Amino acid sequence: MATVKGGQTNPSEVVKYLRRGVQVFNCSNLHAKVYVFDNAVIIGSANVSKHSAESLVEAGLLCTDRQAVTQARGFVRSLQVEPVSLKYARQCQRIYKPPAHGVARGKHHRLASTPSHSRLWLVSVHPAEFTDQEDALCSREHKKAAKKLKNTREYEVNSIKWCNPGSGLAKEVKFGDLFVQVWSENGTTSIYPPARVLRTTPYRSFDRSHRPRLLIHIEEKKNPNAVSVQRFLKTTRPFGLTRRQQLRTREVRSAEMAHAILGLWR
């Protein structure tokens, strides 16, 4: 909102992108200019603006190195925490003030909060039975979580039942975190693309033990493309993740590894 009021972002242009099906995200204090294509990345100084195109001297580096492209794609994906809806963009249109003489106002405004990268987790999962009560609970929570979906044509809400409430993941997981699921079934393991955490629901089991449990509701693509363990380990090998046995639930703390993992999927 601050950049809109200061004339630094024109929400009418954002509306055009949204109406054409482009995904747009908020990111406070973003200054990087990274353009990722199928097999190339451009990193430079230019904004996507008429002012950059016609008035400023800009520079950019075109790179086709596969690892650099993967890292750049992962960097961009790590910032996709807060989707911008068409409704929000239209609210911004009502408060937008064009910059005076081509210079954005608000230079002396205090900077917004530092942008947070999505926390990335590798999550070891397998098929599990849900009781009727758990299914009913999921159904209610899915309706709430669905309001945060990027779009309902490509994405849906699914749930993970977490039975270890004392684990680091259960204590620290929050909205916007990304889960890369290491899915094991019938002796086969596949790695699924990052799924965003939309909501968590703590509850107690519906049997006599009443043990604490956690439902984690995630945003998944309806037709996700899994990658093989071999391909995944080839990507993470330079960062020390080299063996299948290491694919247990863990937070990926290395930014370089996180970007490499997130960049696996286009």
Instruction: For 95-132, write each residue's pLDDT tens digit.
Output: 998 876 554 444 444 445 555 678 999 999 999 999 99
Calpha distance 43→99 (Å, rounded):
26
Residue 107: per-residue pLDDT:
46
Residue 41: per-residue pLDDT:
97
Instruction: For 202-252, write each residue's pLDDT tens digit.
Output: 999 999 999 999 999 999 999 999 999 999 999 999 999 999 999 999 999
Residue 222: per-residue pLDDT:
94
Task: State the average pLDDT over residues 4-25.
Answer: 91
Q: What does pLDDT average to over the chain?
A: 90
